[in-house]
Structure 1
Amino acid sequence: MKTVKLAVVLVLTTLFVTLHAQESTVEDHTNRVEISSYKGPELRSYSQMLKGLIAYKEQHQLAPNSELYFILIPKSKSADVRGLTMRLASDDASINIPIDASGKFQLPLIELKKEDEYDLMLNKPKGQFYIKPYVKSANLAEDAKRLGDLRLECQVRWAIEKQDVSVVFSTYVKLLASGNPCTSRTVAVHFFAPAGIDAVTLETPKSTLSFKMNADNQYVLPVWDTDLNDNALVKYARRAVANIKQEN
């Protein structure tokens, strides 16, 4: 099955970075815009990150037994989360934000008196790290997430970044994606797999669906498909392990 790429590539400098329209496989002829989250998501101002916190609170039903984290990912081997510190600073206060060994942290939900009241401060240049939201329901195995967890991650991303995307992409989303790329089949949203993972499956009551990883360790899930329950399990594994299970 071949994929025919259309001759247009749009480059953004925000979380939703690399887009290209392409005709899908024989089974699905929907033209889609693919969204890569790997090459440009940056740590934003607290006022923008706050929009993600609010989106998480408003759509918490997607993952009611979860918490919202963010993860800082080094852009290069020279960047390292070890020794990295963060604080929320204002004219009157300084709040330390603990960062664990994996680069994961949480932000408090603060009602702002003015948009630039607080600034996120790192002890290293912000440009050294990517950032992504991380949602995972409690009581799940280390190698699993719910589909609802990833749907909520997408909503958090969009809330933070939608005001900064290009006019072209914003217009596309408004006209052809019902105003939200996380709920439209015309947009393929890439998710970043955990380190060391090269096989992703989605378990439904009827079948187990497999998804390919790209060179940037990303995969695409049909988060728009309302026929798929939020409780469907997304599982991560090394391909060697996945092949052994399949043979058995």
Structure 2
Amino acid sequence: MPPFQITHEHRRFAEFADAVRAHRYIGLCWGPPGVGKTLSARHYAGTDEWEQWENIFNDDLGPVPQGVLDSRTAVFTPTVAATTRQIDQGLPRACQQISFAVDFAEHGTVDPFVHTESRSSGRTELLIIDEADRLKTTGLEQVRDYFDHHHMGVILVGMPGIEKRLARYPQLYSRIGFAHEYRQLTPEELTAVLTRRLPAAKDEGDGGVAHATAIATIVRITAGNFRLVDRLLTQIERVQTVNNLESLTPEVVEAARQALLIGH
């Protein structure tokens, strides 16, 4: 998997998350599918590193990932048909796991009768709920109740229109202190990201014209959608492998595009 790309939109999201976490408000983030909302949330929280650490099956877990300790952020994704019981159990479990990791890093062991903040999620400073559109009226009320009983910020991440839907629930809506629209990458920034990820070969005979044209073609096809960029690059790698090609050309990009259903 390629390394996470720090973009302007991710930096904006991180600033938004920092503010929600510091002030302990509810924050609302929305954006079209495929722009990178989930990737940004998981990177901010250090979720991938935490999952690898938490799944080590031996007595020596090793040090808690620094990203987890820095963010103190839990990520919870409700299922499509999440029940009241699943949400009631899922919210505290996600937060308790992060609180446990923080206490484990400080004490080397966690006794729930001594380190009571772990048990009550007290070391978790931010809860990010991804796919918040899946929450029905009861689920949203559960989130509000959990927020009221814990000293932490909460971010609801969803699709455009979620901000209008939540306006119909005044008890929850009145607690929203920050809002953030996650936008698609501009052509200029996507060009810069692709140039870093797909550097031109130094010995290209045309001075890199074909490579630059291919990058511009990818930008035009994907329109700043990260998910579509990832799918297209996967197809480009396949076309290059099948045809024993190393250089990136507009013809390779076009062949890869024809193998895709262009949608988000």
Bigger relative contact order, structure 1 or 2, given CA contacts below 8 A and separation 6+? 2
Rg larger in 1 or in 2?
A: 2
The structure with the largest helix share of the pair is 2
TM, length-normalised to structure 2: 0.27
TM, length-normalised to structure 1: 0.28
